[in-house]
Amino acid sequence: MAYFLTDQQEYELNLFLDEQNRIAYNEQINSDEISDELKEIIKKTEESGSPIPAFDPKYGYYSISFTPCEEGNRIYVHHHITNQSKSIYDPANNVEIISDQNEKLNNTENFSVTEPEIIQEEFEVEESIDDQISSIISNKTYSVDEVSEKLTSIFGNPPENILAEIEQ
């Protein structure tokens, strides 16, 4: 299974990493626990314009988690050196945004509330993504190409830059 970041999510990731790398860099440069040789290597990354702290390449210095949920993936990044995490995208955060907006409305003076207009319409309830995927996968009459086509219609195509990397 492959996971991808949108351009906006990648931008948010890079902002977070730049901020946390600078914090870790400053701590390491000022630390007595880091050897002078390693400090010199770290300083060269700062000279290039984007400081990267010292880390063990076996383990890396950050991780990204993708947790599937009904409205997409909850995407979080964790910086292992500073021990900080950030939400890159989380549909559950929409609840907090709505709550904040309601609180602002409740604190606003001199506004009137009108009775909402009730409109009754008939509509079809869409099948959940999980149900759609289960239906596609469990249908033994679909060819591999048909399954791929149907899943692409749900999730869309992977970003072009990822496809280009895979083809190389």
Domain that holds residue 38: 1-91
Is pLDDT at 119 greater than 70 in this prediction?
Answer: no
Bigger pLDDT: 7 or 111? 7
Confirm whether 79 is domain-assigned. yes
Instruction: Tally the domains of the chain.
Output: 2
Structure-token pair, residue 50 = 């984007």
Bigger pLDDT: 1 or 12? 12
| 136 and 83 in a common domain | no
Single-letter code of the amino acid located at 58: K
Confirm whether 117 is domain-assigned. no
Confirm whether 47 is domain-assigned. yes
Any idea which residue has 């993936």 for tokens?
73
User: Of 91, 119, 144, which residue sits at a domain end?
Assistant: 91
Q: What are 144-151's contacts with CB under 8 Å, separation 24+? A: none
Q: Measure Cα distances from 151 to 133, 134, 142 in Å.
A: 7, 11, 12
Confirm whether 35 is domain-assigned. yes
The predicted pLDDT at position 145 comes to: 74
The predicted pLDDT at position 107 comes to: 56
- Residue 139 φ then ψ, to 5°: -80, 105
| 2 and 83 in a common domain | yes
The predicted pLDDT at position 3 comes to: 81
Structure-token pair, residue 146 = 């048909």
pLDDT tens for residues 6-22? 899 999 999 999 999 99
Structure-token pair, residue 100 = 């904040």
* Residue range 77-91: mean pLDDT, rounded: 90
Q: Where are the beta strands (DSSP E) in the chain?
A: 62-69, 72-79, 84-89
| 147 and 70 in a common domain | no
Bigger pLDDT: 136 or 13? 13
| 86 and 25 in a common domain | yes
